[in-house]
């Protein structure tokens, strides 16, 4: 290994231009891929496309035509009558008409006061279907009547109009999510032409996603370059030598560009996670260069051979740099154990990016340093030596050293106490997330979300899907009973002709075919067979329509009542509600008749009337045409996964206490549910990632130091730090969400670096001094300064994320910066204390003398 390293360094210092050209070619090649960038903002992609929950969710969305919708809300708090004034209703009417003419809007499923039907008794004994608002109302009385009409229809009240009458909503289903920005802009333009006193809001998942993509670009375009600038300024403060610090900047830039280029070139989309790759790689990539520069400027003496110094420096740093790079990448690679595709991609590319940074560092840095001019080198020497021991960072490091050595008992006791409290804190962690909260509180989308959820039953959707087992027997079986031989060919034809259709459609077509057959020439035996078959088929078909059964509708009714009573669900809508409303209007129109009809036939006939409206297909949002699957639409006022989990729990309990009717299955779909699923996967996966990263890093430490004791010591600071940070999250009640989950495993790989460098140097110094006191005094000189310097580079390198427009970026910024700073601090404080107290085990004479170079 050493041989190869030496040869590599010699090659790089002797042919620097070749190294430049190779690096430039590679960087340019990958850069060329970047314009093919594809942004992905769909939170659903947190689950693998083939994940059963997601497949089911999409299947249900298609089957029940539950499209992604833009939600347009209008609120009027100034007028006594709220939105139910001729002015605002006219605006709603006009805006709806313009929205209907926009390309890409699914007009048939658009829900607005002016596109839905009203079912009433215009006079006793008379049922009336008409548009809720066929034209804009001219006076207050008509407007108030519309409000009263809506209030009588549970499916519309609290969904299209708020109970207090202050708000109304328009749900705009769209064909293609990618058109949402465009469509929302067109709607905004129309709204801007209005001169009423009402406030208008636009939200909905597609709009939020689109906005998200836009903010992601801002983040990548501003925060990442800002991180570069921060690092550049820091490096300048450390080294005061522009030509020298250009080198690490080149390492960082080429690492970022090659990694992003590879990601895009390989066809991966840029998701919220991968958009952070640049900002993660930049500080990590410069760290190795900082070590090289520090040591190089320390060792290089004027007049000595430049290349010899470079070889010496690289040879000396190769192993610790390799190990820190590998441990860092292990932290990121461990993310691949989490079954969340964007997290896996992020882990894989940052992990590989770190290795790449290492390779670029040990090839490019020697090449670059070998071409430095004497003038530059002299200047560097001047700066470094004037600073030496006197810089603020060095003083800080020294100060830490005296604290560490003077209060070791207190420190150990203090950290043990903090650790214990933190462990308890971790048990208090609240797992929760809410993609809408990824926007800042004053963001347009958050504001609209708050206003609409305060006024309506809720804009977050979850679907309970009840499915009945298909009771229809295969066609072959059905046709076999007592069949005259003369009809064998006919039966075979039926089976082969109808094979491709769903069973209920096979039965329906069979009825037609039997009738046609009866119409032609048949003998008496055939006629008997056909007539029997006809009634068997009809009966079977009728019985297969499970959700026409009053008993099942009643089960749904009670489940809904239970959900409503819990207060966790804003409102639920189901086939039962549809049936009861139509039944009421068919009968007296009074509340007493808001009931489920008594027989399946009565339900079927009631629903046939519901279908005689302007929107016959609305029924299919709640039940499939074969009546074997039904959907209960839950509207939640909160998008918190925690709240959704409670609803799931509530339903589970209910089903345990009131078992589902025979042959009925209960499943979940809907965005709110999908979010819970990926969060569960994330939490479980993160634990795996964290555990495996911990074990791998620990084994590597034991191998690196050839000592179990040093392995344990290396893991000590980061264990305390991570426990402390997560304990703190639990104690202050910050939700454990996506960014926080992701951070655990990867910080492990990053923060162990400090311990590696510290322990490595301690061994070396102890080998020379063979004296504990002298060792620590030496340690808190140059080595502690270098560690502090690197901690600052990494911690401050992440701070530009604080200026990012999206909350997850800010969270990542705050937490990474504090984890890095705290773990450096803990390393410098706890390791000397523990090592001194346990010196009997740690420092055996002539042991701990450094390891073999690998």
Binding site for other proteins (CB under 8 A): 62-63, 101, 107-108, 117, 122-123, 125-131, 134-135, 501-502, 505, 508-509, 511-512, 519, 538-539, 541-542, 545, 548, 583, 586-587, 597, 599-606, 608-609, 611-617, 619-620, 624-626
Query: CA–CA separation, 649 vs 580, rounded Å?
Result: 28
In sequence order, what are the residues at sequence separation of 6 or more whose Cβ sits closer than 8 angstroms to the Cβ of residue 359?
A: none
Q: Which helix (H) or strand (E) holds 202?
A: strand 199-203
What's the min distance (Å) between Cβ of 495 and other proteins?
18
What's the min distance (Å) between Cβ of 494 and other proteins?
16
Q: What would you report as the CA-atom Rg of the chain, rounded to the nearest whole angstrom?
A: 35
What's the min distance (Å) between Cβ of 744 and other proteins?
44
Q: Pick the closer one to other proteins by CB: 63 or 398.
A: 63
Residue located via tokens 């001169």: 195
Q: Pick the closer one to other proteins by CB: 387 or 605.
A: 605
Q: Pick the closer one to other proteins by CB: 99 or 284.
A: 99
Q: Pick the closer one to other proteins by CB: 43 or 597.
A: 597
Q: Pick the closer one to other proteins by CB: 197 or 601.
A: 601
Query: CA–CA separation, 531 vs 432, rounded Å?
Result: 61
Q: CA quadruple 657, 658, 664, 670: dihedral positive or negative?
A: negative
Q: Pick the closer one to other proteins by CB: 310 or 546.
A: 546
Q: Are 330 and 697 contacting, i.e. CB atoms less than 8 angstroms apart? A: yes
Any idea what the Cα angle at residue 550 is, between residues 549 and 556, rounded to 5°? 100
What's the min distance (Å) between Cβ of 100 and other proteins?
9
What's the min distance (Å) between Cβ of 138 and other proteins?
13
Query: CA–CA separation, 70 vs 112, rounded Å?
Result: 12
Strand arrangement of the beta sheet that strand 69-75 belongs to? 167-173, 69-75, 199-203
Could you tell me where the beta strands, DSSP code E, fall in 585-684? 629-636, 664-669
What's the min distance (Å) between Cβ of 149 and other proteins?
13
Q: Give strand pairing partners of 72.
A: 170, 202
What's the min distance (Å) between Cβ of 614 and other proteins?
5
In sequence order, what are the residues at sequence separation of 6 or more whose Cβ sits closer than 8 angstroms to the Cβ of residue 702?
A: 708, 710, 711
What's the min distance (Å) between Cβ of 342 and other proteins?
31
Q: Pick the closer one to other proteins by CB: 96 or 211.
A: 96
What's the min distance (Å) between Cβ of 171 and other proteins?
17
Q: Which helix (H) or strand (E) holds 200?
A: strand 199-203
What's the min distance (Å) between Cβ of 518 and other proteins?
12
Show contacts of 660-663: CB within 8 Å, 24+ apart: 660/466, 660/555, 661/551, 661/552, 661/555, 663/468, 663/469, 663/471, 663/546
What's the min distance (Å) between Cβ of 66 and other proteins?
13
Q: Are 726 and 422 contacting, i.e. CB atoms less than 8 angstroms apart? A: yes
Q: Is 335 exposed, middle or buried (0-12, 13-18, 19+ CB in 10 A)?
A: buried
Q: Is 194 exposed, middle or buried (0-12, 13-18, 19+ CB in 10 A)?
A: middle
Q: CA quadruple 211, 214, 220, 226: dihedral positive or negative?
A: negative
In sequence order, what are the residues at sequence separation of 6 or more whose Cβ sits closer than 8 angstroms to the Cβ of residue 98?
A: 187, 190
Q: Pick the closer one to other proteins by CB: 308 or 505.
A: 505
Q: Is 509 exposed, middle or buried (0-12, 13-18, 19+ CB in 10 A)?
A: middle
Quickly list H helices, 339-443: 341-370, 374-387, 392-406, 408-427
Q: Pick the closer one to other proteins by CB: 65 or 683.
A: 65
Q: Is 516 exposed, middle or buried (0-12, 13-18, 19+ CB in 10 A)?
A: exposed
Q: Pick the closer one to other proteins by CB: 55 or 849.
A: 55
Q: Pick the closer one to other proteins by CB: 624 or 675.
A: 624
Q: Pick the closer one to other proteins by CB: 599 or 768.
A: 599
Q: Pick the closer one to other proteins by CB: 130 or 688.
A: 130
Query: CA–CA separation, 753 vs 281, rounded Å?
Result: 15
What's the min distance (Å) between Cβ of 589 and other proteins?
11
Q: Pick the closer one to other proteins by CB: 134 or 399.
A: 134
Q: Pick the closer one to other proteins by CB: 382 or 608.
A: 608
| 119 phi/psi in degrees, rounded to 5 | -110, 120
What's the min distance (Å) between Cβ of 594 and other proteins?
15
Residue located via tokens 């430095």: 372
What's the min distance (Å) between Cβ of 581 and other proteins?
14
Q: Pick the closer one to other proteins by CB: 107 or 695.
A: 107
| 669 phi/psi in degrees, rounded to 5 | -145, -175
What's the min distance (Å) between Cβ of 531 and other proteins?
13
What's the min distance (Å) between Cβ of 669 and other proteins?
16
What's the min distance (Å) between Cβ of 512 and other proteins?
7
Q: Are 211 and 445 contacting, i.e. CB atoms less than 8 angstroms apart? A: yes
| 845 phi/psi in degrees, rounded to 5 | -50, 135
Q: Pick the closer one to other proteins by CB: 409 or 616.
A: 616
What's the min distance (Å) between Cβ of 543 and other proteins?
10
How far, in Å, are 246, 463, 493, 540, 550 from residue 660 at the CA level?
Answer: 69, 17, 39, 22, 14
Structure tokens at 152: 């009588």
How many other C-beta atoms lie within 10 A of the C-beta of residue 193? Answer: 10
Residues in the chain: 854
Q: Pick the closer one to other proteins by CB: 311 or 585.
A: 585
Could you tell me where the beta strands, DSSP code E, fall in 30-125? 69-75, 117-120
Give the chain's end-to-end CA distance (angstroms, integer). Answer: 6
Structure tokens at 435: 């993609």
Strand arrangement of the beta sheet that strand 571-573 belongs to? 571-573, 629-636, 460-468, 664-669
């Amino acid at each position: 290994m050493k041989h190869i390293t030496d040869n590599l360094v010699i090659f790089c210092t002797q042919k620097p231009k070749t190294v430049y050209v190779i690096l430039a070619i590679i960087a340019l090649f990958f850069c060329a891929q970047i314009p093919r960038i594809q942004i992905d903002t769909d939170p659903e992609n947190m689950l693998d496309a083939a994940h059963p929950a997601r497949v089911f969710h999409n299947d249900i969305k298609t089957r029940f035509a539950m499209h992604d919708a833009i939600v347009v809300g209008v609120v009027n708090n100034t007028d006594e009558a709220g939105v139910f004034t001729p002015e605002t209703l006219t605006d709603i009417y006009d805006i709806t008409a313009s929205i209907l003419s926009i390309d890409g809007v699914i007009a048939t499923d658009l829900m607005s006061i002016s596109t839905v039907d009203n079912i009433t008794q215009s006079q006793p004994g008379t049922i009336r279907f008409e548009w809720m608002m066929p034209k804009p109302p001219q006076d207050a009385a008509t407007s108030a009547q519309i409000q009263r009409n809506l209030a009588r229809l549970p499916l519309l009240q609290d969904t299209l109009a708020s109970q207090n009458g202050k708000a109304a909503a328009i749900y705009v289903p769209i064909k293609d999510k990618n058109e949402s920005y465009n469509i929302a802009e067109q709607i905004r333009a129309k709204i801007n032409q209005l001169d009423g006193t009402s406030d208008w809001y636009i939200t909905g998942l597609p709009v939020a996603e689109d906005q998200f993509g836009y903010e992601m670009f801002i983040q990548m375009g501003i925060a990442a370059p800002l991180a570069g600038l921060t690092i550049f300024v820091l490096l300048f403060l450390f080294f005061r030598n522009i030509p020298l610090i250009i080198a690490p900047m080149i390492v960082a830039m080429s690492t970022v560009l090659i990694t992003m280029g590879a990601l895009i070139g390989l066809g991966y989309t840029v998701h919220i996670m991968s958009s952070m790759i640049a900002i993660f790689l930049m500080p990590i990539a410069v760290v190795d260069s900082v070590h090289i520069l520090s040591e190089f400027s320390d060792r290089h003496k004027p007049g000595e051979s430049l290349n010899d110094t470079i070889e010496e420096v690289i040879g000396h740093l190769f192993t610790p740099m390799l190990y820190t790079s590998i441990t860092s990448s292990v932290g990121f690679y461990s993310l691949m154990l989490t079954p969340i595709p964007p997290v896996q991609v992020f882990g894989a590319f940052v992990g590989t990016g770190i290795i790449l940074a290492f390779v670029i560092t040990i090839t490019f840095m020697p090449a670059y340093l070998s071409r430095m001019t004497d003038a530059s080198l002299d200047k560097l020497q001047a700066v470094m030596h004037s600073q030496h021991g006197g810089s603020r960072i060095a003083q800080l490091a020294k100060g830490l050293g005296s604290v560490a050595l003077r209060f070791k008992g207190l420190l150990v006791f203090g950290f043990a106490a903090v650790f214990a409290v933190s462990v308890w804190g971790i048990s208090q962690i609240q797992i929760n997330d809410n993609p809408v909260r990824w926007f800042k509180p004053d963001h347009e989308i958050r504001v609209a979300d708050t206003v609409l959820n305060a006024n309506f039953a809720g804009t977050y959707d979850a679907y309970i899907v009840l499915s009945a087992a298909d009771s229809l027997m295969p066609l072959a079986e059905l046709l076999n009973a007592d069949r005259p031989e003369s009809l064998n060919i006919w039966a075979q034809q039926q089976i082969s002709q109808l094979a491709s259709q769903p069973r209920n459609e096979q039965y329906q077509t069979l009825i037609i075919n039997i009738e046609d057959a009866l119409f032609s020439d048949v003998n008496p035996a055939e006629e008997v067979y056909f007539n029997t078959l006809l009634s068997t088929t009809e009966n079977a078909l009728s019985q297969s329509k499970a959700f026409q059964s009053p008993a099942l509708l009643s089960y749904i009714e009670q489940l809904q009542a239970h959900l409503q009573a819990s207060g966790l669900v804003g409102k639920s809508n189901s086939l039962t509600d549809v049936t009861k409303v139509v039944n009421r209007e068919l009968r007296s129109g009074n509340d007493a008749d808001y009931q489920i009809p008594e027989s399946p036939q009565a339900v079927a006939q009631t629903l046939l009337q519901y279908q005689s409206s302007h929107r016959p297909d609305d029924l299919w949002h709640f039940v499939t045409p074969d009546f074997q699957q039904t959907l209960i639409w839950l509207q939640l006022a909160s998008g918190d996964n925690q709240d959704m989990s409670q609803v799931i729990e509530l339903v589970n309990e209910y089903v345990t206490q009131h078992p589902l009717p025979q042959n009925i299955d209960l499943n979940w779909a809907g965005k709110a549910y999908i979010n819970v699923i990926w969060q569960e996967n994330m939490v479980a996966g993160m634990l795996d990632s964290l555990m495996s990263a911990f074990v791998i890093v620990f084994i590597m430490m034991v191998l690196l130091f050839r000592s179990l004791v040093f392995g344990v010591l290396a893991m000590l600071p980061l264990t305390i730090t991570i426990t402390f940070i997560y304990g703190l999250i639990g104690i202050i009640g910050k939700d454990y969400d996506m960014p926080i989950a992701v951070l655990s495993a990867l910080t492990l790989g990053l923060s162990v670096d400090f311990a590696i460098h510290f322990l490595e140097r301690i061994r070396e110094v102890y080998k020379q001094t063979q004296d504990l006191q002298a060792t620590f005094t030496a340690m808190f000189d140059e080595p502690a300064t270098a560690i502090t310097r690197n901690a600052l580079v990494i911690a401050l390198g992440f701070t530009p994320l604080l200026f990012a427009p999206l909350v997850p970026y800010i969270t990542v910024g705050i937490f990474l910066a504090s984890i890095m700073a705290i773990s450096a601090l803990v390393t410098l404080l706890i390791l000397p204390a523990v090592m001194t107290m346990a010196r009997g085990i740690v420092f055996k004479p002539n042991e701990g003398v450094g390891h073999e170079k690998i």
